[in-house]
Amino acid sequence: MAVITCIEDLRILAQRRVPRMFYDYADAGSWTESTYRANSGDFAPIKFRQRVAVNLENRSLASTMTGQAVAMPVALAPTGLTGMQHPDGEILAAQAAERFGVPFTLSTMSICSIEDVAAHTTRPFWFQLYVMRDRDFIDRLIDRAKAAGCSALVLTLDLQVLGQRHKDIRNGLSAPPKPTLANLLHLATRPRWCLGMLGTRRRSFGNIVGHAKSVSDLSSLSAWTSQQFDPGLSWKDVEWIKRRWGGKLIIKGIMDAEDARLCVEAGADALIVSNHGGRQLDGAQSSIAALPAIVEAVGKRIEVQMDGGIRSGQDVLKALALGAQGVHIGRAFLYGLGAMGGPGVSACLDIIRNELDLTMAFCGLRDVRQVERDILLPGSYPVATL
């Protein structure tokens, strides 16, 4: 195996090892994918100010996210079908995050269930919730997250309707893959993945099958899912979920300053500036471009985090300099998972930590909590346009 030096190395290896439909599910956006590309591309013009002859001993990346101590201000984002990138993927990613000392967030649309992850970890993880029409199912899902000891609820608001993802449509995405001739021929080129899947019982949506009414198998799951995302979602539902949950609430999917203010009014503990990885509204701003205006709008009234396009520790530092308290990585850790399983997730986190630490040092800082906008070259970064 070639030496792994950066997240791109992990991506290339994952592409070789993960079946096409699941690799494309992770590494694609909606429509023309313009927002998906902008998420990562818009970091490049942002430039650092390099400083010299300052004391760089005893550097620290330790911080907090939503009141939780973290080894660095990075969390693993909720990603659907993680267990199809690698067998038992959610469990392996959660264990890697736990060892490293950063939060892991389990998606409602995960392959491994809440209970599966709780049984294989010792520290609380975060749980991401989609609001479905079946409020009784949501009620019980919140209770399951409480029973599992989840320390924060990440409420995603930007999936009331599903963005058109052309690659998923062409690939006939399903979990597990449908046994068509084309799929079987392709899977024959991924023997490592196939052998791993034969060794696990976790091959469908663990939080839904057997828990939602009338969903007992894959055929009933497909019909249920297509009807369940709720276009009638409102801020009253957010208030109900906050009361029902009773713990730390993080709202994900915020791209507008007015919506950020509504998060404050709803009593959320944090918000995540996110366009769903460019998988929903194609043509929307990148997350890093939207970040400054949202930080300006809410001030210190709520913790602002962000996701979208983070592929390096330098990207993390740029987001922190523009006002984020922390960031979430999705595709970056999925590349590691698909490439090498749990050790690949650890490799991803190690790469980002090393890049973040070195870049912070070149900017003349020893503590990540001291990062401010003045480490960036004026005129190179996006500014608030309220």
Residues within the annotated binding site for FMN? 78-80, 107, 128, 130, 156, 252, 274, 307-311, 330-331
378 contacts: CB under 8 Å, gap ≥ 6: none
DSSP conformation class of 368: G
Give the Cβ contact number of residue 77 at 10 Å: 28
* Binding residue numbers for glyoxylate: 25, 165, 276, 279
| CA 171 and chain centroid, separation | 23
Q: Yes or no: say if 168 and 25 are a contact pair by the CB < 8 Å rule.
A: yes
Burial level of 209, CB count in 10 A (0-12/13-18/19+)? middle
Residue type, 214: S
Residue 153 corresponds to which amino acid?
Answer: L
Residue 64 sits at φ, ψ, to 5 deg, of -135, 150
- At residue 228, φ and ψ (nearest 5 deg) are -95, -30
Residue position matching structure tokens 């990613």? 93
- Is 276 annotated as catalytic? yes
Catalytic residue among 86, 186, 211, 276: 276
Q: Where are the alpha helices (DSSP H) in 42-198?
A: 82-85, 89-100, 114-119, 135-147, 166-171, 181-187, 191-198
Residues annotated within the binding site are: 25, 78-80, 107, 128, 130, 156, 165, 252, 274, 276, 279, 307-311, 330-331
Cβ 351 vs Cβ 8: under 8 Å: no
The catalytic residues are 276
